[in-house]
A and B are shown apart, each in its own frame.
Chain A
Amino acid sequence: MKISREDVLRVADLAYLDLSESELETYRKQIDEILEYIDKLNELDTTNVEPMAQVLADDQAADATLREDIVVPCGVATEILTQAPDPEPPYFRVPKVIER
């Protein structure tokens, strides 16, 4: 077994994801099978291989240097707040985090 019930619970906790009992067991089994499959990567010796951390080659990268940091007006706050589940313009409201 590659992944235990406790592993799934720990990871779901890291990802702030509520899982039901049945989801927990189903995903554990399925992910276990996927991880078994992924083990085939160990057939390859990658000791001297540089990890590929980005796709574009250096000469293709668009931003060789950072652009200048220029302040531009962005008047979309009101519109953005219309999409919030609990807006309190100009803020997003969330459940109380700090007790007095």
Chain B
Amino acid sequence: MAENWTIPGVREALTSKRISARELAGDYYKRIGARNAELNAYLALSQDRALAQADRVDALVAAGKPLPPLAGVPVAIKDVISTRGVTTTCGSKILENYVPPYDATAVERLEAAGAVILGKTNCDEFAMGSSNENSAYGAVRNPESPGRVPGGSSGGSAAAVAAGLALAALGTDTGGSIRQPGSFCGIPAMMPSYGRVSRYGLIAFASSLDRIGPFARNVHDVAAVMQIIAGRDANDSTSTTAPVPDYLAESEKPVKGLRVGIPKEYFGAGMDPEVRKKIEAGIDVLRKLGCEIREIRMPHTDYAIAVYYIIATAEASSNLARYDGVRYGLRVDGDSLLGMYRKTRGAGFGAEVKRRIVLGTYVLSAGYYDAYYLKGQKVRALIAQDFREGFTKVDAIVTPTSPVPAFKLGERTDDPLQMYLADIYTVTGSLAGVTGISVPCGKISGKLPVGLQIFGPPFGEGRVLQLAQAFEQAGGAAL
């Protein structure tokens, strides 16, 4: 069994010269070579870039110079995040051979902090999906249970970290695409607040919802990656100047006396009874840690899916207008300019993307805008208000991450609405702009991971990490 590295473990091994950054990267590529054919977690590997970076780290070690915080840490990047010189497909045929001329800010910051970028991970096409089955490059398998999905859309990132094919990974979350695969694969996974992490270089799906955030094998390492990627970026006007706290220090604080809200709307029909048992046991852990558990109401929860699939598809239909066969990606010739557009988009996009473009264009079109888009924006305000009011009464809100554990491959692909409904517990926080983490909360029958979701107010990442860390250290993952 290969060593399960952590960020402090890598640092210790490098400084004591037990391993070099180059050897560590090589070890991870060996693991990828051994398991990727089965899991399909990676779409592209960036060995040249990774080894060059590892050599820079090793030179620092040799010279006895101080190491940056993530020196030598092998990470994977979801394939919707731009990487200079490394193919970035978004899981789509329309960008099959696209090589970005620049790095996303989050990638640039990771590398500047010493991280080694191993490669790009599989995902649902343009991050649209909850199972990773919408990738044009095939489904990803859940390393915990290979006949099942890893969750989505950041399924490749979650599977890579869970299987030890990366120490940490970046994913993106628009309606649950970090938290839900984290839950399905049994690892912690964080959605930062809207505005906390720069999205420069993230290929846009729904701009009022998209976030970049980390996966790792423990909460400490999630906090360590957050520390690097958070903060203002002049290239993203939606990134805020709010100061970035010391997340590692915050996550060490005791949780005794914190008020934790449990919204009863998150425990209704449709929830797997085995998931419920685990989550209730998880809440007990928080109670034993000295948290004050309070029941709260979030009355608009049940409307979140309907709002989400208006707002997200409307924004997607606009963002995806750029794929026209002119500047990058696929071109399919037609008898005119417009014919070329139509044929390129018809051939390049997969079924889920087309369905969402049609729905999104419809809800924005003349005669339907008020009934759908405007109505959606109004109910979105009510959902955000549920969170604002909740956070006047409690410090954090705890729910299940998903009503069900990882389902079987192919089980839900024929019914998009049923697939959408499983996003019920994650889309709320996406619409409200708050932060949330999914932490492992035991496994059903010892094999299907369940995730406990902890929401904090906007820019409350420190508080969320604090609770997640205490929960993990109290044995939450072994429930």
Contacts and interface: CB of A to CB of B under 8 A. Distances in A.
Contacts of B317: 15
Given A27-B358, A55-B208, A97 B381 contact: no
Given A62-B239, A94-B337, A52 B355 contact: no
Contact of A15 (B331, B358, B379): B358
Contacts of B459: 60
B191 to A, nearest CB: 13
Interface string A36-53: 011011101010011111
B377 A16 contact: no
B16 interface: no
Nearest to B359: A31
- Chain B interface SS verdict (over half): helix
Contacts of A27: 354-355, 358
B306 A40 contact: yes
A3 B372 CA distance: 13
Contact of B361 (A15, A51, A67, A84): A15
Contacts of A49: 378-379, 381-382
Interface string A59-95: 0111100010000000010011011111000001011
Contacts, number: 167
A25 interface: no
B224 interface: no
Interface residues of A, number: 55
A1 interface: no
B130 to A, nearest CB: 14
Interface stretch (B2-10, B343-351, B402-410): B343-351
Chain A interface, >50% SS class: loop
Contact of A19 (B99, B354, B417): B354
Given A16-B341, A30-B355, A56 B194 contact: yes
Given A38-B310, A84-B327, A31 B101 contact: no
B238 A56 contact: yes
A7 to B, nearest CB: 7
Interface in B373-396: 374-382, 384
Contact of A97 (B325, B337, B357): B337
B324 interface: yes
A84 B194 contact: no
Contacts of B340: 94-95
Contacts of B473: none
Contacts of B303: 40-41, 44
Interface string A7-21: 110111011111110
A51 B416 contact: no
A11 B365 contact: yes
Given A7-B362, A11-B365, A94-B326, A60 B458 contact: yes
Given A40-B303, A41-B376, A15 B357 contact: yes
B49 interface: no
Interface string B187-220: 0000000110000000000001000000000000
Contacts of B376: 41
B328 interface: yes
Contacts of A61: 240
B232 interface: yes
Given A16-B338, A52-B384, A94-B340, A62 B374 contact: no
Given A8-B358, A18-B343, A37-B306, A53 B377 contact: yes
Nearest to A62: B240
Contacts of A38: 306, 309-310, 372
21 contacts: A17-B349, A19-B354, A34-B420, A37-B417, A40-B306, A41-B376, A50-B378, A50-B381, A51-B378, A51-B380, A52-B381, A56-B194, A60-B195, A67-B234, A80-B101, A83-B328, A85-B326, A85-B330, A94-B326, A95-B333, A95-B339
Closest 7 CB pairs of A and B: A18-B346, A51-B377, A85-B331, A52-B381, A55-B433, A46-B378, A16-B341
Interface of A: 3, 7-8, 10-12, 14-20, 23, 26-27, 30-31, 33-35, 37-38, 40-42, 44, 46, 49-57, 60-63, 67, 76, 79-80, 82-86, 92, 94-97
